[in-house]
Amino acid sequence: MRIWFKIMKENRLLKDMTITDDSDETRTHKVFGALERACYEFDLEKPVWLDANISEFQRHAKARFTQDSFIEQIPFDFLEIHVIEED
C-alpha cells in the first residue's frame, strides 16, 4: 500500500511525502500507522477523524483534515491523505 500525504496552503503544495507499507496488517492499521509517521515527519499532532473524514475516505480513499480536525492552530489550509496504491 502506498499513501500520499500533502500539506496545502492557498492551493500550493507546501510539503508532501509518500509512505509505503508492505506489511500484513489490515488496511486500517496501515492507514493509521502511515498517518502517525507522516505527522511525526511533518511535526504535527495527529488529526481527529471526524465523521466527514471517515465517509470521504471510505468512498474515495482520500480525506482532508482542516483546522476542525486539529486541536492546535495549523499554519496551512489542510492535510490531505490519499491512498494511491493498494495491495
Res 87: pLDDT? 80
Which pLDDT does position 11 carry in this prediction? Answer: 96
Q: Give the cell for residue 15.
A: 510539503
DSSP 58: H
**Model pTM?**
0.92
Can you give the residue range of the structural domain that contains 18? 2-85
The predicted model gives 21-50 an average pLDDT of: 96
Q: How many domains does the chain have?
A: 1
- The confidence score (pLDDT) of residue 25 equals 94
Q: How do residues 47-87 score in pLDDT, each as one tens digit?
A: 999 999 999 999 999 999 999 999 999 999 999 999 999 98
pLDDT higher than 90, residue 46: yes
**Could you tell me if 86 and 1 are in contact, meaning their C-beta atoms sit under 8 angstroms apart?**
yes
* Burial of 32: CB neighbours in 10 Å, binned 0-12, 13-18, 19+: middle
